[in-house]
Chain A
Amino acid sequence: MKVCPAHRRRVLDRFVLLVVLVGLTFGSAFAPASAQPAVPPGTPAAAPAAAAASPAAGPPAAADMSWWDKKAAEPYIYDGTYWLPPAASTTAQGPDDLFIWVLGLSAFFFFAITGAVVYFVIKYRHRPGHKAEPSPAHNDVLEITWTIIPTIIVVILFVYGWRSYISMTSIPETRAENQIMVTGSKWFWTFRYYNGVEDNVLHVPHDQPVKLTMTSTDVLHSFFIPVFRQKQDVVPRRFSYIWFWPTKTGVYRVYCTEYCGKDHSLMKTKVVVHTSGDYERYLAEAFTRQMSLSGAPLGESVYKKKGCEGCHTLDGSVRLGPSFKGTFGSKITLADGAIVTMDDVYIRSSLLSPQGQTRPGFPPSMPVIPLSDKEIEGVIEFIKAQK
């Protein structure tokens, strides 16, 4: 236990690298031409689509970047032990210890069985003059022993697994500031704090229990924070809960782990664990900023944070929905043949009832996105501004 885990991991990684190099030499025949080199940690995902489809991935222009956005743009922390990511919550210890125990037991049984197989195969291999020797076809003592020993082991594992699971799922009292609403939608996360602040990045305080109440606006999602060892499915029209007690500040990955369609793999964001004080500052300043927004800037923030960006572009290219570029005021033909003007009224009713008026060539895929009147006005101004 004296070897530092990061060092051990590096040694293992180097060994693996050696194997891969050997493999690559004769695997290069099928390596795709566009293979990209591994990207250093912290840079946004290499996928071009990532920036567009997941709002959290594209940081706003540096000039008007708030301090908390800058903090969220710091490199991810993901380097843990060889097997597990770093542990950053109080409840991670239980499953981590068990993981190592089960790993040890598995290694023991694996080497015992493989060793016995290899030994027997060598010792009793067929060769001239060699014959099978008689031996008992069963042995009660032996068979009972090797039934009872695994039974005892799994009973112990079950009990410890159950106990640590109970502590992972027993939600302690949390103050109102630490109760956060989570909404999963195809394909982004929205976090709403007790004072009404909304964000696509999860901000939480260090060393305090945090409770998330989660739901989905469409299909199943699953909320997974590897460094907290927590995961819970997010179900439409139901609430599910998850909690954690962060023990380390930093920026960590958040994934969706229940397959949810096209951009499932881009539905990821980050959790920022703030030092105490910073979290409160974030809540207060983000609140002021959110309240001070109106008109086109508010519309832009809605566009980026509520997932509009995934389907509607600003540059004229077509995704799942029409682009916003230069559409305001134009005449458009609907699926039923009617010709209408793309104006305030049209935008408002498209937002309130997206399937009410549909345009030919686009799948009826737009969900209802709950917005306040002020936000709808902002969106209208924003679309107007896309000349």
Chain B
Amino acid sequence: MSASLDNTKSYLEVNPGWRNWVVTLDHKRIGMMYLCGILAALMLGGFFALLVRTELFSPGAQIVHQDWYNKFFTLHGAVMVFLVIIPGIPAALGNMVLPIQLGAPDVAFPRLNLASFYLWCGGATLLLLSVALGGIDTGWTFYTPYSIETQTAVLPAVSGAFLLGFSSIFTGLNFLVTIHKFRPASMGWFQMPLNLWALYATALMQVLATPVLGITLLLLFVERFMQIGIFDPTLGGDPVLFQHFFWFYSHPAVYIMIVPAMGVVSEILTTFSRKPIFGYRFIAYSSIALALFSFLVWGHHLFVSGQSRLANMVFSALTFSVGIPAAIKVFNWTATLYKGDIRLETPMLYVLSFLILFTIGGLTGIFLAVLSIDVHLHDTYFVVAHFHYVMMGSTLVAFLGGLHYWWPKLSGRMYPETIGKVCAWGVFIGFNLTFLPQFVMGSRGMPRRYWDYDPEYTLYHRLSTIGAFILGMSMFTVVCYLAWSLKRGKKATQNPWGGSTLEWVAPTPPTVFNFPEPPPEVELYEYDDLHEVENANQDGVTNWERRPAANKPARSSHH
């Protein structure tokens, strides 16, 4: 923290110019750079998705043949999972708000933070390199022995995923230390915003699970290079072992994706309903519970891989037990709306979408956890729909909600509200049109990763393709208007939504070290002394000011 930086000025004004940005140690700038990269990757992944869906509009060849189709769905999956959904909330949004919510000037290890971003860039470059070298066709899961023998560009893609793993570990490590060490004395664990609980739980998983991915990919790399015979059955290796290793990481990874989304949702929900979160402690504990349980259920991806019946029984039982904390969180969020004063701005629309979509995603997970049903549904479109409801319908929708929620704070500008709402509806409708039909064709037997399909599934594939275009157009519009608002948007106020956490006490945009003077203590999720002031700035944007409530009602505590 160089003393030459002027902490009375906005972080956007001090040291402008891209030369200063690329070597910045400021968590907000790193978060912004992450955001740009992630949004670019999102558009690339979305482009591949639309190619896949266009090809599937009718049976037989539409725009491409098998080889390219297989590359498109692999690249779509790899880009979306490794470049977008996993880093999305922690590395972009989390980076921007975590220190501010703690009242801290930065994360604990700013250099590690920048290193994490450059590892992300390195990983992204390698993935792009594999596209340039003709693409890769293994599916995002890289299952052996196909991934050992395919002639496509596996090595750069695998090395890319390997680097991205380290990027994720660095972010997690940084967040763990920051939350332990930079929490002000006045903020006990149970005075932490739920977003921080969620990021903490996520960081735990990132640090504990990701090394397993690294080792697995390294082994795959070595297997391709030197034929050591660990996964290759012709050399005495075991291809199913790869699946165990892979899912030992990738199941926790799906919680690395969803838990931070739950944190974002909790924040937005309380702010826009002006009520404390119902059952704060439960939500906090259940984030940690999900993080720990997530290590014990990987076997549910191997129910028909030849795993023993005993193992299947244990993994099925454990999988159900993860469903329960997830269900209770949904009940708690719903109860938070009770007797609130609900405002339907764009972030809240996304959060309400999340509630509905996550409910569908979780409930369809229950179908899959029932052993005998999963035998039928495994590797069909039912599973495809299930994980899109949780990864896209929940995580990505929460990411969009969080992006709109914190955008005014970080960019200093408001996004256009009306078009924002239209796009939120577009995302919701397009999403459901894309993925609801996939449940139906999946349970009727349509296998996944199929370039060609039988005629009886045509209707459902067509609906899905139409939905995908609505979804794609809506999301593309979001990216466009956010970029537009950077220069043209209305100037944001300090607290446009009436949030109660510390980031709304910081100036908009925050100064270099976030707070020009040490932040006051605030009472978490306490809305009585926040008052709405309309037309608070020259652009007519609302601000919420903190004044003691006239006659403060006795407040039932959530501690």
Contact = CB atoms under 8 A, between A and B. Distances in A.
B306 to A, nearest CB: 5
Contacts of B445: 78, 85, 224, 226, 253, 255
A311 interface: no
B13 interface: no
A106 B196 CA distance: 31
A1 interface: no
A56 B138 CA distance: 26
B458 interface: yes
A166 B281 CA distance: 40
Interface stretch (A110-118, A197-205, A349-357): A110-118
A168 B444 contact: no
A124 interface: yes
B449 A264 contact: yes
A233 B304 contact: yes
State which size class the interface on A falls in: 35 or more
Interface stretch (A16-24, A273-281, A377-385): A16-24
A105 to B, nearest CB: 8
A23 B466 CA distance: 7
Given A137-B277, A143-B279, A124 B341 contact: yes
Given A83-B443, A132-B275, A235 B448 contact: no
A194 interface: no
A220 B241 CA distance: 13
Nearest to A92: B376
Of residues A49, A117, A260, A265, which shows the largest number of chain B Cβ atoms within 10 Å of its Cβ? Answer: A265
Interface in A22-55: 23-24, 27, 30-32, 34-36, 38-41, 43, 45-50
State which size class the interface on B falls in: 35 or more
Contacts of A271: none
B104 interface: no
Interface stretch (A149-157, A298-306, A325-333): A149-157
Contacts of B447: 224, 255-257, 265
Given A130-B341, A138-B282, A23 B463 contact: yes
Dominant SS among interface residues on chain A: mixed
B230 to A, nearest CB: 14
A120 B324 CA distance: 23
Interface stretch (A59-67, A95-103, A287-295): A95-103
B215 interface: no
A175 interface: no
Nearest to A170: B309
B279 A134 contact: no
Contacts of B312: 165
A266 B281 CA distance: 52
Contact of B344 (A23, A125, A146): A125
Contacts of A98: 370, 372-373
Contact of B527 (A76, A132, A162): A132
A208 interface: no
B239 A220 contact: yes
Contact of A233 (B305, B456, B462): B305
Contacts of A34: 58, 61-62
B66 A263 contact: yes
Contact of A259 (B146, B332, B363, B367): B146
B140 to A, nearest CB: 11
A192 to B, nearest CB: 21
B139 A158 contact: no
Given A45-B454, A98-B372, A220-B239, A35 B276 contact: no
A313 interface: no
Interface stretch (B153-161, B351-359, B412-420, B509-517): B351-359
A79 B320 CA distance: 32
B360 A124 contact: no
A34 B55 CA distance: 11
Nearest to A125: B342
A110 B323 contact: no
Contact of A137 (B60, B437, B556): B556
A150 B327 contact: yes
Interface stretch (A176-184, A236-244, A334-342): A236-244
Given A95-B375, A240-B306, A259-B139, A134 B556 contact: yes
B339 A124 contact: yes
B135 interface: no
B346 to A, nearest CB: 14
A150 B70 CA distance: 40
Contacts of B451: 264-265
B337 A120 contact: yes
A32 B63 contact: yes
B268 to A, nearest CB: 14
B280 interface: yes
Given A38-B459, A85-B444, A117 B379 contact: no
A221 B372 CA distance: 20
Contact of B281 (A49, A138, A231): A138
Interface string A64-91: 0000000000001011101111000000
Interface in B322-355: 323-324, 327-328, 330-332, 334-335, 337-344, 352, 355
A2 to B, nearest CB: 23
B314 to A, nearest CB: 10
B143 interface: yes
Given A134-B555, A226-B444, A35 B371 contact: no
A361 interface: no
A166 B363 CA distance: 24
A135 B273 CA distance: 13
A22 to B, nearest CB: 10
A372 interface: no
Interface string B437-472: 100100111011111111110111011011001000
B239 A235 contact: yes
Contacts of B150: 261
A138 B275 CA distance: 12
Closest 5 CB pairs of A and B: A226-B445, A161-B370, A265-B450, A137-B558, A165-B371
12 contacts: A16-B437, A35-B57, A39-B455, A47-B59, A85-B444, A117-B356, A132-B274, A137-B556, A138-B278, A138-B279, A138-B282, A231-B379
Given A49-B66, A154-B321, 14 more contacts: A32-B54, A38-B456, A41-B455, A49-B61, A109-B327, A114-B356, A126-B344, A132-B340, A138-B279, A147-B324, A158-B317, A161-B371, A259-B449, A261-B137
Interface of A: 13, 16-17, 19-20, 23-24, 27, 30-32, 34-36, 38-41, 43, 45-50, 76, 78-80, 82-85, 94-95, 98-99, 102-103, 105-106, 109-110, 113-114, 116-117, 120-121, 124-126, 130-138, 142-143, 146-147, 150-151, 154-155, 157-158, 160-162, 164-166, 168-169, 218-220, 222, 224, 226, 229-233, 235-238, 240, 253, 255-266, 363, 365
